[in-house]
Amino acid sequence: MMGVIGYHHLGMLIAMWIVLIAIGCTIVVRVLQGLRRSTNIGELAEAVTRPMVFDVLPLIILSLLTLIDPTGILIRIWYYVAAVLIVARQLMLLSGHIKSK
């Protein structure tokens, strides 16, 4: 899968790294805040799995769709727009979690 992203489109790979870093920062903050106060393990598990399923998986599916599209331009536009929106949402979530601290 990463061969599809990294081999043909270096920009898509860098966008995926940026998305993963933003998600990782949000996860770390949520888990640390969850460990400081008494929360159930379900909330911590949701903090880790929900971004991977709803944010990273669609980007992976879009990257695999570039194999079908002969030009790949439309799929790459969707990929970059989705990546920018995911990073913006993760940064807003991160700032909200830090402010609620």
Contact between 16 and 83 (Cβ < 8 Å): yes
pLDDT in tens, 12-64: 889 999 999 999 999 999 888 888 887 788 888 888 899 999 999 999 998 88
- Is the pTM higher than 0.75? The answer reads yes
| First and final C-alpha spacing in the chain | 38
Residue 1 in this model has a pLDDT that exceeds 80: no
pLDDT in tens, 55-90: 999 999 988 888 887 777 888 899 999 999 999 999
CA dihedral 70, 76, 82, 88 (to 10 degrees): 180
pLDDT of residue 73: 85
pLDDT of residue 24: 95
pLDDT of residue 69: 79
Query: The dihedral of CA 96, 83, 63, 69: what is its sign?
Result: positive
Question: What ranges in the chain are assigned the alpha helix state H?
Answer: 2-8, 10-36, 41-51, 57-65, 73-99
Residue 4 — very low, low, confident or very high, per pLDDT cuts 50/70/90?
low
